[in-house]
Amino acid sequence: MAELIVLRPGPLSTVQDLGRFGVAHQGVPRAGALDQPAYAAANRLVGNPPGAAAVETTLGGLAVRAVDAPLLVAVTGAPAAVRIDGHPVAWGAAVRLPAGATLDVGPADFGVRSYLAVRGGIAVPPVLGSRSADLLTGLGPAPLRVGDLLPVGADASGPGVLGIDLLPLPEMPRELVLRLLPGPRADWFLPDSLVALAKARYRVAPASNRVALRTEGPGLIRRRHQELASEGMVLGAVQVPPDGQPVVFLADHPTTGGYPVLGVVPEADLAAAGQARPGTPVRFVPTRRRS
- Identify whether the C-beta of residue 213 lies closer than 8 Å to the C-beta of residue 252: no
Q: Are 101 and 52 in contact (CB under 8 A)?
A: no
pLDDT in tens, 77-101: 999 999 999 999 999 999 999 999 9
pLDDT for position 225:
83
Per-residue pLDDT averaged across 148-161, rounded? 74
Report yes or no: 254 and 241 within 8 Å, Cβ to Cβ. no
Cα–Cα distance measured from residue 41 to residue 74, given in angstroms and rounded to the nearest whole number: 9
Q: Above 50 in pLDDT, residue 157? A: no
Average pLDDT (136-162) is 83
CA angle 118–120–121, rounded 5-degree value: 60
The string of DSSP codes covering 43-96 is HHHTTPPTT--EEE--SS-EEEEE-SS-EEEEEEES-EEEEETTEEE-SSSEEE
C-alpha dihedral over 134, 14, 158, 101, to 10 degrees? Answer: -160
- For 90-144, write each residue's pLDDT tens digit: 999 999 999 999 999 999 999 999 999 999 999 999 999 999 999 999 999 999 9
CB contact at 8 A, 133 and 58: no
CB 78 within 8 A of CB 114: yes
- What pTM, to 2 d.p., does this model score? 0.94
Q: Rg for the chain (alpha carbons), in Å?
A: 20
Closest CA relative to residue 220, chosen from 190, 198, 184, 177: 190
Q: List the domains of the chain with CATH numbers.
A: 3-151 (no CATH), 176-286 (2.40.100.10)
Sign of CA dihedral 174, 169, 50, 56: negative
Q: Give 156's pLDDT tier (boundaries 50, 70, 90).
A: very low
* Residue among 259, 273, 144 at smallest CA distance from 208: 273
Q: Could you give the C-alpha distances from 53 to 18, 56, 63, 280, in angstroms and in order?
A: 8, 10, 17, 29
Tens of pLDDT, residues 192-234? 898 999 999 999 999 999 999 999 999 999 998 888 889 999 9
- Contacts of residue 218, defined as CB under 8 A and 6 or more positions apart, other chains included, come to 196, 200, 202, 244
Bond preceding residue 9 cis, omega within 30 of 0: no
The DSSP secondary-structure symbol of 25 reads: G
Rounded CA-CA distance 116/286 in Å is 35
